[in-house]
Amino acid sequence: MRRTASRETRHRVRPSQISGKVGCCGRPADRRFVHRQLENNHRALVEDTPFMSSKPMSLKIERVPLERLQQILPRLLSSLSIGRAQIALEQIRSTLQHRPHDEVIFLMASDLTTSEQPLAAVIAMEQAAVAPHPRSDVATIVHAGFLLETPLSVPPSASHDQNEPSFENLSKPADSVAVGPLPDEESIIRQLQIHLDRHLEQRGIRFVQWATDTAEQAGPSSSRWCSGLGFDQIAMLDYLSGNTADRYKDADPRQNEANPLNFCPIPWDQSSDLDSFAKLVESTYIDTLDCPGLAEYRTAAETLRGYQTVPAFAPTLWFRVRDSEDPSASPIGCLILAKHGDPPQNQNHGDQSAPDQANPSGEPVFEIVYMGIVPRARGRGYGKHLVDRTFAAVTDAGGTRVILGVDRANTPARAIYDRMGLSCILNETIWVRKLDLVKSSQQ
């Protein structure tokens, strides 16, 4: 089970921010309705002010002061599911409370010919750094989209002709860009990508992640934005939640008496042990069914640094997993838990969690951030024992609720979680992008 979202693409803290089942409550924008609005709006403009039909739009891309978030966010987030919108708001709130505000990049595209009417926006956030690294090279897209409640005052696409200006000027960023009388959606997205890349590169960002509603919830508009901004889809995740008291509630309790696994906490005062743990985690990535494409973008060591930046980081809950019947053998796997509801153990946090809102009772919620088994130990029933032993460890630590995320393609793991009584609370698609800073600096 590999974490792939938020703070680090594999990071799975977001489910704890949602109360109730929200996996299918998306409210995707009806693009056909929007197009009809554009056409009607154009007809009215041509009838009232004929010169608008030939007047080029001047598209302004700028980094907007964060004070405008309150004005723009309702429209920007209106196409998201309730759960995804809540996550986006909590990402912003937590970062603004705990991190420098300049780590939030808020870009907006406006039409200068209509009193700078807002057309689209994108919000990105830099991830917190982990010592001894002075800065993180990871950023997260909170959301990007059109501001659909304000129709674009542009002619419909059917009126294109051979005399319209070319779009060659879209290859270079500028604060105000004339894109001709008919800037289609792809042109606006492309111009926002150019400016976003410039800001990210200036901050040394090399890896960007984005968790969105699934296609069933968001429709084609979400993938259009993700692809247009240069992202690749690597996984579809189901986020699950359950109570430790419900595990195997319909099974014979005697089957859980003999668990061969031992959890060995890793020592944080020795860098060699951390390096060894990273190599163990890396070995579990081999032939994994959980977000296998992520290995092309991030190493295990880079991902583990991301796990340490979050408020729920719990260093005492990182384990090597050994078979108690063969204690001298090398570990057969690893486990990383996070604990929501306690004061942060890493003051460099600032990412996307909401333990208080997610857990108003005040009881801690434990998240299975990552668990994996090395290839040589697979097929021997360790998966079931590892999950069951994890639930027992959560109970011993005073917890009752467990949350986790699983790749939809990982059917063996999902079968174990279903047997444990976990239920799905959220679905999302994971997109990632790697920036080539050397190549970009040479352009």
For residue 132, say if its preceding peptide bond is cis, omega within 30 degrees of 0: yes
Closest to 351 measured CA to CA, from 1, 3, 2: 3
Assigned token pair, 110: 């406006």
**Does the domain at residues 240-427 carry the CATH identifier 3.40.630.30?**
yes
For residue 327, say if its preceding peptide bond is cis, omega within 30 degrees of 0: no
Of the ranges 14-28, 138-152, 366-380, the best mean pLDDT one: 366-380
Higher per-residue confidence, 325 vs 131 = 325
Confidence of residue 257 (pLDDT cuts 50, 70, 90): low
pLDDT tens-digit map of 387-427: 999 999 999 888 999 999 999 999 999 999 999 999 999 99
pLDDT over 90 (residue 73): yes
Confidence of residue 174 (pLDDT cuts 50, 70, 90): very low
- Tell me the CA distances in angstroms from 197 to 172, 191, 246, 371, 432, one per residue in order: 11, 10, 47, 33, 14
pTM over the 0.85 mark = no
**Does the domain at residues 14-238 carry the CATH identifier 3.40.630.30?**
yes
Query: What is the reported pLDDT for 139?
Result: 96
Query: What is the reported pLDDT for 48?
Result: 34
Instruction: State the helix-helix crossing angle for 300-307 and 271-284, rounded to 10 degrees.
Output: 110
Higher per-residue confidence, 441 vs 312 = 312
- Identify the three-state secondary structure at position 10: strand
Total count of residues recorded for the chain: 443
Query: What does pLDDT average to over the chain?
Result: 77
pLDDT tens-digit map of 274-329: 899 999 999 999 999 999 999 999 999 999 999 998 888 999 999 999 998 887 78
pLDDT over 60 (residue 338): yes
Every domain of the chain and the residues it spans: 14-238, 240-427
Assigned token pair, 284: 């579990």
Assigned token pair, 353: 């969690």
Interior angle at CA 46, CA 44 and CA 47, nearest 5: 65
Query: What is the reported pLDDT for 36?
Result: 47
